[in-house]
Structure 1
Amino acid sequence: MPRGQKEKLHAGGKCHQAQGETQDLQGAQAPATEEKSHPPPSSPHLGITTHTKSTSKLQSTSKAPQKALKGAKGKIKRKQSSPKASPSTVKRPKKSLIGAVRLVVSYMMQMCRMKRPILKADLLKVITKTHREHFNEIFTRASFNLEVVLGVDIKEVDSMKNSYTLVSKMNLPNNGVVTKGRGFPKTGLLMNILGVIFLKGNRATEDKIWEFLNKMKIYDGKKHFIFGEPRKLITQDLVKLKYLEYQPVPNRDPASYEFLWGPRSHAETSKMKILEFLAKINHTVPSVFQARYDEALKDEERAGAAAAAVVSETPDTN
């Protein structure tokens, strides 16, 4: 891809099928943008990415689903399945599986919010008998959805009981929930904001951050059912925890503010990991963002050299 063209990272799912599978994850992700570099993936929302386009032209959902997560707020209603579907892949799902994926995502989020383990036996009860033969595929897609929305990995905690838990990709307090009590992890939002900052040249104005959040259907002063009060979260909570820095832009009149990575973000993740996260969501590779990839690669090399130097300087006690 040629350098010098406008680059945008739309850090979310990109395909038409995602529109169905993410109906219960309204506005959970949207694009991060960068003003320089090379051709962008197009504008998606945070959700399941279900099939691949070329790295220079990625298709996305055009709008976030309108249905809020029922399973996270109340009872999950079972839905009758469509006629038996033939086996499908994560990249090209059968439409008949979309409803099952949605129900599993809803149930997982409900268990996450309640801080309870996720049992395979219970997940099988959520979907119909017709869909149970496709459980592995449904589970994979649901897990990916939660990864990109909440910034969590699903981990098996008991192989005998097929019990799972959701683990934050970064070491935020309360497994990503940030504050005490029940709630959803904020790690996914943080990782996407870190992506915006990085792609903007390691600093992003507050206006650009809110432009990004608005595309996620997250608005200043309006509580979001997953991320809560966004202004407090990004300008107070994450700043106090040192994941973000929030400071005045020098020599601006009227005054304006900008965001940078905080020291804990530098300690707990890396530019390469953030690029990998964003690339995975878009079903592409980190090197599609050529200039930023080169920068991240240099950081990785410096970190590796520093670690090697520490090892070489450590006295041999044997």
Structure 2
Amino acid sequence: MGAKHGPLSALAPLGEEDADSSPCGGASHGLGQPQPAVPSSPAEPQGSFHLKTAALVIFLLLKYRTKQPTSKAEMLEIITPEFQDNFPVILRQASICLRLVFGLDVIEVDPSEHYYNLSIILGLTWNGTLSSQGGLPKTSLLVLVLGLIVLADDCAPEEEVWEAMGIMGVYDGQDHILFGAPRDLLTNVWVQEGYLECRQVAGSNPARKEFLWGPRALQETSKLQVMDYVLQLGNNNLTYSLALCEQILR
């Protein structure tokens, strides 16, 4: 099999097809460290271990919405006594899910008392919970698009952006159970928020759009941070995390 050459080649572990060449012209939380063993992660999470992980994700999302810290003791109550020996692994899996799907980091803010807080990844200040898109954080999808723009030499055509968003199961014209209406996010919300710049491709007929980083993205994060996150999406945890979070909402 030949080597991949398009901007999405860095995401090759996800099994995406080659991307067409860009017309635009021309590049934590310890998740990159070795991870403890966890039970197998099928496409559709099931079983008691996964239910406890899902319960912890729900609990931590509620804590984030109310801007409250949480403690290890509170989390142990959620997963019940019979799973307390598995707490480090369940917390690890829940943290990966929150980071990859919602763009939230679980941070231990007081190691002596084991208190934890949730914060938006990469220093960004927008998460989508107050927009018309609904109440779940959407930072992960935004960072994926910012990463694609970097891979496409800082200017990504719309068709490549949709290809990248397909990695998260997000498609043009289809409302997503986690992220809402993606076209509104891409061409309206993120542009108005200052994270993206959208412009018409010069000389295109019919008219086509291309995307660049907006001033707010340039101010709040860096290309290195974004690409580090995008590379984390290339591991097998993403499929499991998406399936788990979709089951939670259903």
What TM-score does the superposition give when structure 1 sets the normalisation length? 0.57
Counterpart check, 1:179 vs 2:124? no
Q: Deviations over 1:248-287 (max 9, x none)?
A: 0111111110111112212222221112112233359xxx
Q: CA deviation at 1:130?
A: 2.5
RMSD value, Cα: 3.5
Match of 1:292 in 2: none
Match of 2:45 in 1: none
1:129 pairs with 71, 78, 81, which one? 81
Which SS does the other structure have where 1:165 is aligned?
Answer: strand
CA 1:177/1:209 → structure 2, altered by over 3 Å: closer, same or farther? same
Match of 1:92 in 2: 37
Higher helix share: 2
Which SS does the other structure have where 2:9 is aligned?
Answer: strand
Match of 2:61 in 1: 109
Structure 1 Cα separation of the partners of residues 56 and 129 of structure 2: 24
Which SS does the other structure have where 2:10 is aligned?
Answer: strand
CA 1:230/1:101 → structure 2, altered by over 3 Å: closer, same or farther? same
Q: CA deviation at 1:129?
A: 2.0
Q: CA deviation at 1:243?
A: 0.7
What TM-score does the superposition give when structure 2 sets the normalisation length? 0.71
State whether residues 103 and 139 of structure 2, in contact with CA within 8 Å, keep that contact through their aligned partners in structure 1: yes
Deviates more, 1:216-225 or 1:260-269: 216-225
1:277 pairs with 209, 229, 234, which one? 229
Q: CA deviation at 1:217?
A: 2.5
Match of 2:209 in 1: 257
Counterpart check, 1:228 vs 2:173? no
Gaps of at least 5 residues in structure 1 are 15-29, 37-48, 53-88, 285-318
Q: CA deviation at 1:11?
A: 8.6
Amino acid at match of 1:10: L
State whether residues 248 and 258 of structure 1, in contact with CA within 8 Å, keep that contact through their aligned partners in structure 2: yes
Match of 1:20 in 2: none
Gaps of at least 5 residues in structure 2 are 22-30, 41-47, 237-250
Match of 1:18 in 2: none
Higher relative contact order by CA 8 Å / sep ≥ 6: 1 or 2?
Answer: 2
Which SS does the other structure have where 2:210 is aligned?
Answer: strand
Structure 2 Cα separation of the partners of residues 249 and 35 of structure 1: 15
Q: CA deviation at 1:114?
A: 4.5
State whether residues 37 and 89 of structure 2, in contact with CA within 8 Å, keep that contact through their aligned partners in structure 1: no
Larger Rg: 1
Matches within 5 A, 1:46-85: none
Which SS does the other structure have where 1:134 is aligned?
Answer: helix
CA 1:32/1:126 → structure 2, altered by over 3 Å: closer, same or farther? farther
Q: Deviations over 1:154-188 (max 9, x none)?
A: 23355576442211124554x52363697222221
Structure 2 Cα separation of the partners of residues 180 and 120 of structure 1: 31
